[in-house]
Chains A and B, each alone.
Chain A
Amino acid sequence: MSNMERVVFLDGVRTPFGRAGEKGMYWNTRSDDLAVKALMGLLERNPKLDTSKVDDVAIAATTQTGDQGLTLGRTVGILAGLPLSVPGYAIDRMCAGAMTSVTTLAGAIGYGMYDFAIAGGVEHMGRHPIGFNADPNPRFVAEKLVEADALNMGATAERLHDRFPQLTKDRADAFAMASQQKVAQAYSDGNIQPDLIPIAIKTDSGWGLATEDEGRRPETTLEGLSTLKTPFRPHGRVTAGNSSPLTDGATVSLLASESAAQAAGMSAKMHMVSFAFAGVQPEVMGIGPIPSTEKALKKAGLTIDDIGLFELNEAFAVQVLSLLDHFGIADDDKRVNLYGGAIALGHPLASSGVRLMIQLARQFEQRPDVRYGLTAMCIGLGQGGTVIWENPHFDGKRK
């Protein structure tokens, strides 16, 4: 019989994120190698972990084909040098792949079946553009189940502007610029680099080393943003500047039951409180995190006011703003995306969920005054996912 266990987030790392495409730094790097190197880096910096005690490895990818196919959790585990006795599997929930790796394994840990588990995700959008080679069932359109452009993420973001006229392009641009500036600040404060695993990259001029996120644009101005094209519709509002760019990258995290972690002498960076996923109309997938957050709060017995830190995936600025508006949070609220987000760092779909957790974990460490934090993201085809975390460093004092 099972014993219910508390789930802890012990550690998380990621590769620097690269711009997708031929000019991006990972164009010559295999997708699975990104995940393998991230996992090796995670294992190296957690020498107390007895790898033979890892009960499972879940690695997510949205487009599971080629160098991103073949049951990633298993292949990545073998290639990273985990014992062959450690099993693994692959996960797909589009953008929330890594988040789903975490929640699925958390279920197994919480139910007492697993002691240690590795959860992560990878997306090489340069090699595997979203929806590439997909064959959507014709019924979707024939029966008007969804609009034809529901798989076009930019179009779904435009539709959010339609639905919520108060979410103006100016607000989106301002949020986007702030994201760039916050990332620049986080880099100069050294809040990002410690959790990056450098990746050797082969270029035409030989081997090099990727050590930082490639897509950042700290020089971004509102004037500059205002001149950008709106590729998804003429005179639209969604631009390359207020969206997350196409990105390559991998993330991986180490989860455990609290008792197994204690027995191994490893301390938690976060405690899991609750999680939830929810569905919405695919055409407005960006609002997905609203119902998932409400569900997760309800399960946790918390309200939005209990949350001291938010890590929200910035697929599109407008989509984050829709959640902030819904909960009555200001666009520039200091609790939200303190280190900036995907607009500046990039959004390698199935890997982003764990990036949110990595950043929340570091903020927890610096903010013992905060008890609860929340990671949330929207998901293609109309979903949202939310995980609520508790800060083990919380000291009960309000700042």
Chain B
Amino acid sequence: MGNYDNIDFSDLLALSSEEVVTNSSVTDVRLASGRMMALITLDNGLDHTRPNTLGPRTLMQLDDTLVALAQRVSVGEIQAVAVTGKPYFLAAGADLSRVADIPSKAVARKLAELGHRALGRLAELGCPSFVFINGLALGGGLEIALNADYRTVDSSAPAIALPEVFLGLVPGWGGAYLLPNLIGIENALTVMLSNPLKNNRMLSAPQALDLGIADAMFGPGRFLEQSLEWADEVLGGKKVKRPHQPGKVERAVKWDAAIKIARSTVTKRIGTIAKAPFAALDLMAAAKSGTRNEGFAREDDVLAELISGDQFQASIYAFNLVQKRAKKPAGAPDPALANKITKVGVIGAGLMARQFALLFARRLRVPVVLTDIDQGRLDQALEYIHGEIDALLAKGRMGADDAGRIHALVSGSTDPTAFADADWVIEAVFEEMSVKHEVLARFEAVIPESATLATNTSSLSVTEIGSKLKHPERLVGFHFFNPVAVMPLIEVVRAPKTNDATLATAMNVAKQLKKTAVITADAPGFVVNRLLAKLLGEAMHAVDTGTPFETVESALDSFGMPMGPFELLDLVGLKVGAHVLDTHHAAFPDRFFRSDNLHALAEAGVLLTRDKNGNITGFDDKARAIVAGGASPRSAEELNRRVEDGLADEIARMLKEKVVGFPEDIDLCMILGAGWPFQMGGITPYLDRVGASERVNKKAFHKPAITGVA
């Protein structure tokens, strides 16, 4: 009997009355040796667009099934038990659709306990247990496998991972204890910690095999048949080698050191605010010794804490924004209105223009023409693009045929008439209104009536840019983030005159570029730059008034953002930063600071000091000298409060001005455009939970609140 047999799960089950249950069906399979195996198939009965998930009712059914099988084992009817999934899926993890409804820490704990009870039975059947990982296995899905004695994996399984930390959780159905004890502490740290923090990286099947998560791998053609043959051999005494399984030496020498290194790496990268990574570290550290039951009990404690906490609820909110809202952009017109793009024109040949040309050619697979008045710069641009393609080819990220195709698609011309048959023309010239007016007028004269014009401006009014056009209705703002190939967000700016067909075309182009598009109104800084300007303006102003750099840099640590304000300024470039502050100050002089000191720092090119590996070591003395002289320093607490309140105020104004319609869109932009973390829910759930929304706006952005119950 397990430790969890006497727990009453009725309150948890009551929450899941609408759960899509993944059934556990049992078929007896006679193996070639004559042994009888009970094969459990996990199947929710839906098609391949709806993966198996594991909610309370699913777990209860699996539990009942395994109890019945243990009984059959005891009377000698079966000699082995195996679990596999419906085609393409083992299971995509816990069913998180109702987690917002969990009413208490006690019920949250039961979700952990029920998982342990059901999955844990795979080690208590009285016979060997196997899991045949036939497809996607994430989180709790993979933990089913970890609880079994043996595992095989289908070489075509698209993703194998424990993404819990990415979502503000830990693998708490045995994973945190079982994984390091199966594959060693360093491998486990990669799977449970590093990968989730690397934008939720997942494993391929061969990687899972190499790490020791699976004992054997077979191709998809006869995966189940070969898994059954292999299981039969194991039952017959075949030895299964586990070279990564930790031994005494690893436990004595390596384990604590690996945990320590990982702890310091995580701290350096994301700070110490996010709870889940450190909870995972603590669990893995403790997994070095002690029993399985003790490990499971620790997981129960930690999961109860996290599930009922603020960060997890904000993370789930953020995850749903990125997974769902991103795919159905608010305010988007009928996609059928979009014009087909068969040729792209890029005005300019600078850094942004080159990145655009490469991205458009790769994703849209239509001819892309760059244009510039300077043939030399065009040649340089083409050389750069061809070099990038060759690099992709060399890295194996692109095949030779594809590389040949993209090479041929990109061309350059100093003659504007090269755009005479372009359907989409995007300008990436200097951020100066007169320059924009001049080039757009020139190109409007040659492009087809039906073409769409896009501007990548980040600081100018799209309306004003279009003011000299004959057809301003076909101009749309299309604001990328740097680096263009990497950053997932595009702010699509709808100026008052932009028509639906133009907007639909822009949304469709963004989709084809595999970017998430958020529609914003034509307001200074749109969403991301406006909020960053607010934050950086406050930070720089604090320095201007005499606050030490160090105080400012750490004043916002409680947010848990990926970097402090000056590291961010250094990343975007001091000149760009100074310009962004200027434009926002010009637009909203009462609320946004500009900084002469920042211009001076940019001019001198000094701010941070770094070691030979590029790690930040402090602030440059020359920078200190430049900003010296302020007489009214702020405390870290004051600044922290000013930024929280300032952001709450600014967001409320943006919503009122209808820059975007909903706080969800603000958060989506900040997550994808600025890398603000899931545990903050972007920004508005964070502002609600620290009370800033209430202080400034007299009401929260979200109702019901996106907070935990603990």
Contacts and interface: CB of A to CB of B under 8 A. Distances in A.
Interface of A: 36-37, 40-41, 44, 79-81, 197-200, 202-209, 211
Nearest to B28: A208
Given A37-B225, A205-B27, A206-B43, 18 more contacts: A40-B221, A40-B222, A41-B225, A197-B225, A198-B225, A198-B228, A200-B224, A204-B25, A205-B26, A206-B26, A206-B27, A207-B27, A207-B224, A208-B29, A209-B29, A209-B30, A209-B224, A209-B225
A80 B223 CA distance: 12
B39 A206 contact: yes
Given A198-B228, A211-B30, A206 B40 contact: yes
A41 B222 contact: yes
Contacts of B40: 206
B313 interface: no
9 contacts: A41-B222, A200-B223, A200-B224, A202-B87, A206-B25, A206-B43, A208-B27, A209-B39, A211-B30
Given A81-B219, A202-B87, A207 B39 contact: yes
Q: Chain B CB within 10 Å — which of A44, A81, A208 has the most?
A: A208
A205 B25 CA distance: 5
B595 interface: no
B30 A207 contact: no
B41 interface: yes
Contacts of B228: 198, 200, 209
A199 B25 contact: no
B210 to A, nearest CB: 21
B84 interface: yes
Nearest to B23: A206
A208 B225 CA distance: 10
Contacts of A200: 222-225, 228
Contacts of A211: 30, 32
Contacts of A40: 219, 221-222
Given A198-B228, A211-B30, A206 B41 contact: yes
Most buried by B among A205, A206, A207, A208: A207
Contacts of A198: 32, 225, 228
A36 B224 contact: no
Interface in B600-656: none
Interface string B387-412: 00000000000000000000000000
A200 B225 CA distance: 6
A36 B222 CA distance: 9
Interface string B33-54: 0000001110100000000000
Given A203-B27, A205-B27, A206-B25, A37 B222 contact: yes
A221 B84 CA distance: 41
Most buried by B among A40, A44, A209: A209
A40 B219 CA distance: 10
Contacts of B84: 207
A209 B31 CA distance: 9
Contacts of A36: 221
A193 to B, nearest CB: 8
B39 to A, nearest CB: 6
A40 B220 CA distance: 11
Contacts of B87: 202
A268 B40 CA distance: 41
A208 B221 contact: no
A37 B25 CA distance: 24
Which of B32, B43, B225 has the most C-beta atoms of chain A within 10 angstroms of its own C-beta?
B225
A220 to B, nearest CB: 23
Nearest to B45: A204
Contacts of A197: 225
A9 B30 CA distance: 31
Given A198-B228, A202-B87, A207 B41 contact: yes
A31 to B, nearest CB: 15
Contacts of B26: 205-206
Interface in B208-227: 219, 221-225
Nearest to B223: A200
Contacts of B223: 200
Contacts of A80: 221
Interface in B101-115: none
Contacts of B221: 36-37, 40, 79-81
B225 A199 contact: yes
Contacts of B43: 206
B230 to A, nearest CB: 12
Which 7 residue pairs spanning A and B have beta carbons closest together?
A: A206-B41, A206-B25, A200-B224, A208-B27, A205-B25, A209-B29, A207-B41
B15 to A, nearest CB: 27
A18 to B, nearest CB: 15
A40 B25 CA distance: 28
A198 B30 CA distance: 11
A243 to B, nearest CB: 29
A159 B388 CA distance: 75
B150 to A, nearest CB: 17
Interface in B14-28: 25-27
B220 to A, nearest CB: 9
Given A198-B228, A202-B87, A203-B27, A208 B222 contact: no
Interface in B224-241: 224-225, 228
A202 B84 CA distance: 12
A211 B39 CA distance: 15
A208 B28 CA distance: 7
A57 to B, nearest CB: 15
B219 A208 contact: no
A118 B558 CA distance: 68
